[in-house]
Structure 1
Amino acid sequence: MRRRTFTATASIGAAAAAAAVAAGTLPAWARDNEGPSGADTYAWKNAVINGGGFVPGIVFNETEPNLIYARTDIGGCYRWQEDSRTWKPLLDWVGRDKWGWSGVVSMAADPVETDRVYAAVGTYTIDWDPNNGAVLYSDDKGETWGIAELPFKQGGNMPGRGMGERLAVNPADNAELYLGAPSGNGLWRSKDYGRTWAAVENFPNPGNFVVDPNNPTLADNQGVIWIDFDQIGGKIYVGVADPADPLYVSEDGGATWTAVPGAAEALGNADGNRTFPSQSAVDNTNGYLYMVTSYDPGPYNGAPASGNGGKIVRLATQTGEWTDITPAYNPRGVIPGFGGITVDRQNPGTLMAATRNNWWPDEILYRSTDSGATWSLSWDYAEGQDRHDRFDMDSSGSPWLSWNGEDQGPAYAVKHGWMIDALAIDPHDSGRIMWGTGATIWGTEDLTQWDSQGELIGEENGQRVALPVEKFTVGVRAEGVEECATLDLAALGGTLVSAVGDVGGFVHTDLDRAEPMIDTGWSTGTSVDFAQAKPDIVVGTGNVHGNEKGHVGVSTDRGKTWKNAARLEGVPGDGHGGTVAITADGSTILWSPSGTEVTPVYSTDLGETWNPVQGLPAGAKIRSDRVKASVLYSFSGGTFYRSTDGGKTFTDTGATGLPAAAVEDFRAVPGRKNHVWLAGRGDEKEGIGGGMWRSKDGGVTWKQITKFETAESVGFGKAAKSSGYPAVYTSAVIDGKAAIYRSIDGGTRWRRINDDDHQWAWSGSAITGDPQIYGRVYLTTNGRGIIYGDITD
């Protein structure tokens, strides 16, 4: 266990830096000061997208109004700010050495001392994440954190990440916390506010359920999945991923544990089914423990091939009586499974649940005001599949949520969501609900209007007919949550173009405004570029589903509108976006698909037709010279190539000493003909260290900048002086410190420009400066969206 403290290392002034150098106390990575501008401090913000990833948990503090937390699977956790109705990120201090701690598998808010909050972190239980998990504890609502490292991994981005909550504070003794562990590690407990942890040795069942034992990413035991407290009888309930024995209880404060009789039968597992209770909720007024079940942990699946895969069951905590309260009706015909469940603390007997993977036409929210005896639906069909809804969806906070689609009958472009595991009614306000999806957070403060609407559908002459309903509005509540995984960036000056995982990409002309999605059909954008001399011409590529649209998109109006290039024979959909480049004058587009045997191609008619490039292997990365239109560059397997005929043919420059397999990025320098920089991690087999290389002769000869041990990326922005070299930016490692660095003198001296409060886990795999604003830098993250920084002094 260790305490996290923060120091602002990037704000060392010039005089202080000189004194520190003389005293030998300045960190090695900061010793080569850029000069007077080396004292720059930075302010960091997000280019606004609002959402963009899975929000598997939303936690309201039970006793303090407006204190709300949200967790994401790879992008940290957030605290709600009621005054601005935005979320504040709480884990930006996580650095690359512990990048897995940006995956938050569970959160718990202390109902007694409400400044206390806890987060169970760790992204993968498999070896993708080299580190074990931890429980982070905070005494100031997440402003600062202490760290209790655990002897096992946790799975913030693994199957089952929406179940839970796995972490819970005992309301009868708030110094005591419980943690449900995956991978057969059982139930853990802390008795000192999360500072130290130990296994509950007498807990009898660590779980046994795996999704698919033959798939390494699906073969992990889901383990102990939630903890809940019956405050009437003082019992502690624990849900376990074991269909035969899914529920345990302690009636003596955790000293002993027994299986709850009838649980497997209540969940429908007596005949060999494999459902288990993925979430729970307690009504401490009426004495009920509610559980929802699904066929597997989710978040993607949820039903067996035969159809129904989920139930809602109710346990009377004082009598032990089980009741199946599963809704009897679903417009789709079957209920594939359930995700989230929540109770209304202000109105005992009122509860809601969400279907899981009711993919078409939409998910359904169910609501009961009589402890599950009867249910009403968020939408339903009248005769002829004419859909009617209780509320309208307002996506103006994130206009991309339509995915550039249109309503198709009952399948709306803007949906209730999918993967709805996070579902929470505000315990202090029955009118407020929030739910998380695979892309955003939805919410309303008018939820109670639901109960005055009556039925959506009635019957007339034997037909189902719609009844008049005064609808309320559900809107985006994800402002401030930025969790996209960004893959590439292009800064045109006043316009920022991005390639983004899962949601394609965006064109920002106002960094403070969420924009519609680039209309190319990309499932994931992988690469973007623009013509340096004609920046209205923008190109991008990405993975596409199916075989209807081409991978490459082209815009001739600075990203306002897009047209898909022609498909390329031999490159199927479902991936293969690769990299794209365009010559400085915009006359030729080059595209190198990924993951195929197809070699790069070029087009001289903005993607109407493609021709094979000569001299390059499949999968080679391609960049254009930023000055000379006839020159382009490529790298593959340790060989650097150049074209001098606009990309038709490439030849090996003969360069040696470059790492063969670990080059992360290379870019050409704006305003400097034949200047190319290359960033890499090195190659131990070849005996080549990582770092940065630069060439001033088009890639024939290279000089290694030995200061860097490894480098992820390189990019360029406006020079500090009108006649100076463009500012160079990189995400790299110096003396073991992974950070964001800048040089304003062509790479002789470097300055770290971020600080320990702003690290964003794995960040900067693509980076670029702004061509018009000196000092501004944009960087990608793996789950915290697009970050940009500006000099503040």
Structure 2
Amino acid sequence: MMFGDKFIAHKLSAFIVFLASLITAGSCVHNDGTKAHPYRYNSVAVTGGGFITGLFGHPTEPNLLYARTDIGSSYRWSSAAQQWIPLTDFISEADINLFGTESLALDPSNPKMLYLAQGQYTTSNNTAFFVSDDQGKTFSIYPAPFPMGSNELGRNNGERLAVNPFNSKELYFGTRTEGLWKSTDQAKTWSNITNFPDAFANGIGIVFVVFDPKHNGTIYVGANVPNGIYYTKNGGISWSIVPGQPTTWTDDVLIFANWTPTSPPLSDGPQPMKASLASNGVMYITYGDGPGPYGVSYGIVQKFHTANFTWTDITPALNNSYPPPYTPQAFPRGGYNGLSVAKDDPNTLVVISLDRDPGPAIDSMYYSRDGGKSWKDVSQLSSPPVPDGTWGHPIQEAALKNGTAVPWLSFNNAKQWGGYGAPSPNVGQTKFGWWMSAVLIDPHNSEHIMYGTGATIWATDTISHVESNSAPTWYIQAQGIEMTAILALISPTAGANLLSGFGDINGFRHSDLFTPQPMFGSPTFSNLDCLDWAGRKPNVIVKAGSTGLPFVDACPMAAISTDGGLEWDRFPNCAPMTNNSFQTGGVIAVDASGEHLVWTTGGLLKFRNDTGPYYSSDLGKTWDAPKGLNIGTGNVSSDKVQPKTFYAYDSGIWYISKDGGATYSSSVAADIGLPENTGAVPVVSFKAAGEIWLPLGDEGIYHSTNFGSNWKKIGLDGVSTSMFSVGAPAPGRKNPALYLWGNTTAGADAVTGLFRSDDAGSSWVRINDEAHQYGGPRLIVGDPRVYGRVYQGYFGRGIIYADIDTESHGTVTVRPGTYGI
């Protein structure tokens, strides 16, 4: 990516390409047989699905709210649309590391200004500051001279980035590994503050920067180490350790947290995580024994009086909270992380425990109106009475404010669930949350509180009900946020148009693309790695994934549905080389008849054992190794028309089985017209037996109509693809539409994007644009029933589907240099 001064040229160049594609799209002309249409882009509604790491409200403009996430970048709340608007969908595949927000900052004196610190992993050298003067409608982008880690440990803390309220051009940023930095030109350039103490050798570094808005030159900086809070009163000329900090774990904290010799704190003393400076000069600080978001067992909450440098312990405990903490607590009580203070009352605040789950009691939100002298346990008060202390919302509250249900949040499952934030074991209840590091008391309405979890955003407009020991009314306020990681997609010829597999949250049957759907039933997978459907019986669906369920009575890692994914039956037995030590379900395929299976299990993929995909002709009762294919390859698929037929292409050898995967015949690539290649998953026709495509990266796309006996390269030189799929034919055509993610021309003019061909690959048109790249997809799947529709699975932006825009009539309006919404 180009930055700084070069970014203007980059914007202009991108705009020219973008405008050209739109003009072509808008004219609806034939381009060598492929018609170019305008497209619209929509998210498949899940509503949340991942970790919300920060929530923000501007102090002077009502309803100006933002959310940051670990792998899905940032969003702005639209009060008019009643949904969150994604801000950085223009990020390209080459810049995927920028699709995570390490920290977000608002200019307290200018509600138009927005700053995003972007970078997912410290191992990447691609990090940047996104600077907007129109609330995220457009951005200027500048390189960062240090690494960031929005999806690494400590991402729950903050905020690392802050704007000086006395000088809007000045920003400070606390890094993970490079100390404290300063910008005097609104994040264009940065300089290291070399006189700041070295307190960041643990790889987490500085987790918050807080300017005192009443005292020019006073700044507080917190590093995630014991005794890690520093201050300056002269604008950074000199720095000192804040005196009186809690530096060791006191006996009462250890006893209250169920200390045992086998579970000591991870740190010698409390480590600061979040801080908020109230209008009366009191700074509230949460602490833990580790950076989080997982593994924190001990913590405290402190109140620092900046006027006289005195400290008060305000940790919620037995003697100052109601209802009292659940007893017995079988595990350490966790740390404290989530923190927010009301703008209109410095004594009103909320803090949230971190990683108390399991225990059996889980994390609590505590609310105080007296500066932390006493607390109300909001989680307990909000929960229906249950015998084991697992606080949760009644299932009917898992809905948007307008009543639209978000049913996957209320799933109940066995305790062996392997994903983070295991579901509630209590029927009729969904967990109150986990990883609740993001919480916000609305600056303009203190009754409105939002908190983020590892899955979504909950909200209430009646928090004061807890003062009378009553439950607030809760609802979901995550509509528009889609930040999941997609592992599998299929689009059968009947039933629901789309079925999906997700990281962490199992998968879904999307009978309605606009409305959140229930999660797949048991066996539910923490990661659903693979889906397939039977070509002649499209309601027969198979799935495989990773799970913590025991291998008792039936196989917990794979299942079959005969009603299009509504109900599932486990296979009677798993294939060999399958057990809980493998964190992937492997690759599974079902033949056209729905009666024969092949399964490259996670064990085969890991070790590349000297056997090919195991096969079963009795729907999983028995499994056997095949003959003729003796490597554990994931490049397997089934013919969708001819029963018992499976294909594989691996290490320059083409394989075909016509007896249900029991035996394979093989051909060397050169003998059948293929280039020698490491391999690819064969993509099959849903209409014609034996019609197959092989997307071979820079070597192009190869096509066969005779079961792989002969192959021909399609299209012109320069076609390069990392993902490929087929979909419904264009009107008046019999051949399926083809879709690829990659390039369709060579040389300097090559543009990476999503392309469609209506004429079997002779010509291609781009169907996405510079504003809709989403960091590049992991999967693409054409819809066999809807011409022009292609589903795209992303790491951090869920599922996007592109549809021909039949309502635009070729009219396109675009403003130069505009990205985002």
Which TM-score tier does this pair reach, normalised by the shorter chain? 0.7 to 0.9
Secondary structure of the corresponding residue to residue 534 of structure 1 = coil
**2:527 aligned to which of 510, 513, 524:** 524
In structure 2, the residue matched to 1:306 is none
In structure 1, the residue matched to 2:185 is 192
Q: How does 1:17-32 map to 2 (within 5 A)?
A: none
Deviation at 1:203, TM superposition (A): 2.0
Contact 1:353 1:367 in 2 (8 A): yes
Deviation at 1:157, TM superposition (A): 0.8
Which deviations, in whole Å up to 9, do the C-alpha atoms of 1:718-767 show, x marking residues without a partner?
1113443100111113445321111111112111110000001031x321
**1:545 aligned to which of 535, 544, 548:** 548
1:115 and 2:123 matched: no
Match of 1:430, as an amino acid? Answer: S
1:715 and 2:721 matched: no
Structure 2 unaligned residues grouped into runs of 5+: 254-264, 319-324, 400-404, 415-422, 807-821
**2:201 aligned to which of 197, 202, 208:** 208
Contact 1:267 1:276 in 2 (8 A): no
Match of 2:756, as an amino acid? Answer: R
1:731 and 2:734 matched: no
Structure 1 unaligned residues grouped into runs of 5+: 20-29, 210-220, 304-308, 454-469, 682-688
In structure 2, the residue matched to 1:326 is 315
Q: How does 1:52-201 map to 2 (within 5 A)?
A: 52-126=49-123, 129=124, 131-183=125-177, 185-201=178-194
In structure 2, the residue matched to 1:345 is 343
1:585 and 2:593 matched: yes
Distance 1:16 1:413, change over 3 A: closer
- CA–CA distance in structure 2, aligned partners of residues 371 and 718 of structure 1: 62
Distance 1:659 1:123, change over 3 A: farther
Distance 1:412 1:575, change over 3 A: farther
Secondary structure of the corresponding residue to residue 450 of structure 1 = helix
In structure 2, the residue matched to 1:370 is 370
1:242 and 2:225 matched: yes
Q: How does 1:213-232 map to 2 (within 5 A)?
A: 221-232=203-214
Distance 1:518 1:14, change over 3 A: closer
Contact 1:124 1:155 in 2 (8 A): yes
Match of 2:43, as an amino acid? Answer: N
Deviation at 1:237, TM superposition (A): 0.5
- CA–CA distance in structure 1, aligned partners of residues 107 and 355 of structure 2: 32
1:561 and 2:567 matched: yes
Deviation at 1:194, TM superposition (A): 2.2
In structure 2, the residue matched to 1:746 is 760
Match of 1:724, as an amino acid? Answer: K
1:698 and 2:680 matched: no
Contact 1:187 1:206 in 2 (8 A): no
Secondary structure of the corresponding residue to residue 490 of structure 2 = strand
Secondary structure of the corresponding residue to residue 661 of structure 2 = coil
Which deviations, in whole Å up to 9, do the C-alpha atoms of 1:77-114 show, x marking residues without a partner?
11111123211111100001111100111111222110
Which deviations, in whole Å up to 9, do the C-alpha atoms of 1:491-525 show, x marking residues without a partner?
12442111111111110111001111111221111
In structure 2, the residue matched to 1:425 is 441
1:312 and 2:301 matched: yes
Which deviations, in whole Å up to 9, do the C-alpha atoms of 1:263-299 show, x marking residues without a partner?
25377699971431011111122x2111111111111
- CA–CA distance in structure 2, aligned partners of residues 566 and 487 of structure 1: 25
Which deviations, in whole Å up to 9, do the C-alpha atoms of 1:678-736 show, x marking residues without a partner?
2244xxxxxxx444333333223333456456422111111113443100111113445
Deviation at 1:116, TM superposition (A): 0.8
Match of 2:707, as an amino acid? Answer: G
Match of 1:514, as an amino acid? Answer: P
Match of 2:224, as an amino acid? Answer: A
User: Structure 1 residues 338-347 or 590-599, which shifts more?
Assistant: 590-599
Contact 1:621 1:636 in 2 (8 A): yes
- CA–CA distance in structure 2, aligned partners of residues 476 and 750 of structure 1: 42
- CA–CA distance in structure 1, aligned partners of residues 478 and 424 of structure 2: 26
- CA–CA distance in structure 2, aligned partners of residues 691 and 50 of structure 1: 37
1:640 and 2:637 matched: no
Which deviations, in whole Å up to 9, do the C-alpha atoms of 1:634-693 show, x marking residues without a partner?
1333322111112221222222454644x4543112223222212244xxxxxxx44433
Count of matched residue pairs: 735
- CA–CA distance in structure 2, aligned partners of residues 265 and 792 of structure 1: 61
Match of 1:516, as an amino acid? Answer: P
In structure 1, the residue matched to 2:278 is 283
In structure 2, the residue matched to 1:477 is 477
Distance 1:389 1:634, change over 3 A: closer
In structure 1, the residue matched to 2:810 is none
User: Structure 1 residues 360-369 or 67-76, which shifts more?
Assistant: 360-369
Deviation at 1:37, TM superposition (A): 4.8
- CA–CA distance in structure 2, aligned partners of residues 81 and 318 of structure 1: 39
Contact 1:33 1:751 in 2 (8 A): no
Q: How does 1:611-690 map to 2 (within 5 A)?
A: 611-616=624-629, 617-656=631-670, 658=675, 660-661=677-678, 663=679, 665-681=681-697, 689-690=698-699
Distance 1:160 1:412, change over 3 A: farther
RMSD: 2.9
Which deviations, in whole Å up to 9, do the C-alpha atoms of 1:118-165 show, x marking residues without a partner?
110011002xx3x32111000111111111101222101111111101
Contact 1:59 1:424 in 2 (8 A): yes
Match of 2:445, as an amino acid? Answer: D
Contact 1:390 1:471 in 2 (8 A): no
- CA–CA distance in structure 2, aligned partners of residues 447 and 640 of structure 1: 63
Match of 2:169, as an amino acid? Answer: A
Q: How does 1:584-603 map to 2 (within 5 A)?
A: 584-596=592-604, 597=609, 599-603=612-616
- CA–CA distance in structure 1, aligned partners of residues 585 and 182 of structure 2: 46
Match of 1:370, as an amino acid? Answer: D
Contact 2:436 2:453 in 1 (8 A): yes
1:607 and 2:628 matched: no
- CA–CA distance in structure 2, aligned partners of residues 770 and 347 of structure 1: 54
Distance 1:189 1:775, change over 3 A: same
**1:451 aligned to which of 467, 472, 479:** 467
Contact 1:178 1:187 in 2 (8 A): yes
Secondary structure of the corresponding residue to residue 94 of structure 2 = helix
- CA–CA distance in structure 2, aligned partners of residues 490 and 776 of structure 1: 13
Match of 1:345, as an amino acid? Answer: K
TM-score relative to the length of structure 2 = 0.84
Q: How does 1:454-465 map to 2 (within 5 A)?
A: none
Which deviations, in whole Å up to 9, do the C-alpha atoms of 1:520-548 show, x marking residues without a partner?
22111111111112111111111112434
Contact 2:600 2:612 in 1 (8 A): yes
In structure 2, the residue matched to 1:254 is 236
Deviation at 1:371, TM superposition (A): 1.1
- CA–CA distance in structure 2, aligned partners of residues 65 and 355 of structure 1: 28
Deviation at 1:611, TM superposition (A): 3.3
Match of 2:738, as an amino acid? Answer: V
Match of 1:152, as an amino acid? Answer: F
Secondary structure of the corresponding residue to residue 60 of structure 2 = coil
User: Structure 1 residues 651-660 or 749-758, which shifts more?
Assistant: 651-660
- CA–CA distance in structure 2, aligned partners of residues 647 and 390 of structure 1: 47
Match of 2:39, as an amino acid? Answer: Y
Contact 1:7 1:755 in 2 (8 A): no
Contact 1:378 1:390 in 2 (8 A): no
Contact 1:93 1:760 in 2 (8 A): yes
TM-score relative to the length of structure 1 = 0.87
